[in-house]
Structure 1
């Protein structure tokens, strides 16, 4: 609150008629302006009607510490024929910075800011609704289906192996997201004969490949007495190679003819799994004949039990028929490796 000092000086003219020293008639109009400023000024009006006014001005604007100044001007009209002083009109002007407010005529301007709030949902990939910035949204975070977890359509070159692709990487074995040859490895880790069935054996291969950063779909070369490896796996017309690019076979037909061009003794990490050769050096669960047929009852009850049963094994250090068949059986409670073959989409 800013206080203002108001100085009001009221002058009462004598009731008796006054004569001008110069001999002028009574009733002449005289206007006197008195200021308390260092240099007072007085003005006399001889025209304009029988009205006498006295204006008193405060010494100067009153300034406060917050930069606000206030000045007050008081005008008192006087009837020259009466000793009665008319009501005074006081106008107070307050100046703050660049703005001036007249208390007699105050104009208030209200500025309102209208904010626009969007009532729509923010874009959220995976909520099943195609929103701004999204090309698709199938409501899940699976990259390999018809819409990626980034809500984009699958395409070759995005680094994800989609359903219609065999690979998506920059290597000499991936041209147009199709393989030039199929990859083969033996697992670096072992498992008992309880693999949780054939599906569990395939997942074992997939996990080893994923852990090593190998793209592609992999299944295990393994059979039961009800389902053979030859019936489960893709028969590729392209070569099968180890991860060191050594050729294992030129095609499925070559793979299943009884012998291999090179042993499948390189694991998913590119390391050698066999330190010596011969049955028992690098045992692999197979229960499969060289042509991929099964039919052996030694399959740990469909690779689901690890106690008091046996499973047929192959040998990764060899490239003759014993690579898959010919090294006998192993108790299912013991551990052996798996052969993992990449699966193609086309012959």
Structure 2
């Protein structure tokens, strides 16, 4: 299914990236830019940020807008009713649709470094600030087909493994 290009004006679009990356995504600002680039290429409007935290204090809880509006996938399926619902530990539906409106068939791992509350995960769970793709270093991940806390906080993965990004419209 192709994305509609825009959710109803109050809704915020969320998607899992179609592309995969090692844990060396270039840091939070680079991941934010990747999300915006993917959205633009898919014809989605607005500014997008990655659901990604680092040890420098950047996290969704700090850098995201906190709308009192629904978060929906490009398919229109609701993920959360508003910010408080998004960050309460569970989501309504798994974030399984990418920016183009398709469900990735492989690699359900998503780099997050973030607890479901939007706060940074434990220190050191960020592939050294998202710049190290070594097998001996790990990063906090989520699993894109989870709706419990595992959507954002599953056991860490080695940073040389492929993972995706969650991208949220601001």
TM-score normalised by the chain length of structure 1: 0.45
> Which residue of structure 2 lines up, in the alignment, with residue 283 of structure 1?
109
Equivalent residue runs for 1:243-282 within 5 Å:
243-274=74-105, 282=108
Mark the CA change 1:214 to 1:329 in structure 2 (over 3 Å): closer, same or farther: same
Mark the CA change 1:172 to 1:232 in structure 2 (over 3 Å): closer, same or farther: closer
Q: Which runs of 5+ in 2 are unaligned?
A: none
Quote the offset at 1:286 in angstroms.
Answer: 0.4
* 2:129 aligned to which of 286, 302, 307: 302
Mark the CA change 1:170 to 1:202 in structure 2 (over 3 Å): closer, same or farther: closer
Asked if the contact 1:265–1:274 (Cα under 8 Å) also holds between the matched residues in 2, the reply is no
State how many pairs are aligned: 164
Cα distance in 1, alignment partners of residues 64 and 17 from structure 2: 17
Cα distance in 2, alignment partners of residues 322 and 255 from structure 1: 13
1:188 paired with 2:11, answer: no
Cα distance in 1, alignment partners of residues 61 and 117 from structure 2: 7
Mark the CA change 1:197 to 1:172 in structure 2 (over 3 Å): closer, same or farther: closer
Mark the CA change 1:181 to 1:225 in structure 2 (over 3 Å): closer, same or farther: same
Cα distance in 1, alignment partners of residues 98 and 63 from structure 2: 22
Q: Secondary structure at the match of 2:15?
A: strand
> Which residue of structure 2 lines up, in the alignment, with residue 242 of structure 1?
73
Quote the offset at 1:170 in angstroms.
Answer: 9.0
Quote the offset at 1:273 in angstroms.
Answer: 2.1
What CA deviation, in whole Å up to 9, does each residue of 1:149-172 have, x standing for no partner?
A: xxxxxxxxxxxxxxxxxxxx9966
What CA deviation, in whole Å up to 9, does each residue of 1:39-73 have, x standing for no partner?
A: xxxxxxxxxxxxxxxxxxxxxxxxxxxxxxxxxxx
Cα distance in 2, alignment partners of residues 298 and 335 from structure 1: 16
What CA deviation, in whole Å up to 9, does each residue of 1:123-168 have, x standing for no partner?
A: xxxxxxxxxxxxxxxxxxxxxxxxxxxxxxxxxxxxxxxxxxxxxx
What CA deviation, in whole Å up to 9, does each residue of 1:10-40 have, x standing for no partner?
A: xxxxxxxxxxxxxxxxxxxxxxxxxxxxxxx
Cα distance in 1, alignment partners of residues 99 and 67 from structure 2: 20
Quote the offset at 1:224 in angstroms.
Answer: 1.2
Which is higher, the Rg of structure 1 or of structure 2? 1
* 1:232 aligned to which of 56, 59, 63: 63
Mark the CA change 1:170 to 1:264 in structure 2 (over 3 Å): closer, same or farther: closer
Report the structure, 1 or 2, having the larger helix content. Answer: 2
Asked if the contact 2:125–2:140 (Cα under 8 Å) also holds between the matched residues in 1, the reply is yes
What CA deviation, in whole Å up to 9, does each residue of 1:182-240 have, x standing for no partner?
A: 00000011011111111011011011111111111100001112322211111111110
> Which residue of structure 2 lines up, in the alignment, with residue 18 of structure 1?
none
What CA deviation, in whole Å up to 9, does each residue of 1:252-299 have, x standing for no partner?
A: 000000111111000001001256xxxxx5000001111011042110
1:198 paired with 2:33, answer: no
Cα distance in 2, alignment partners of residues 172 and 305 from structure 1: 35
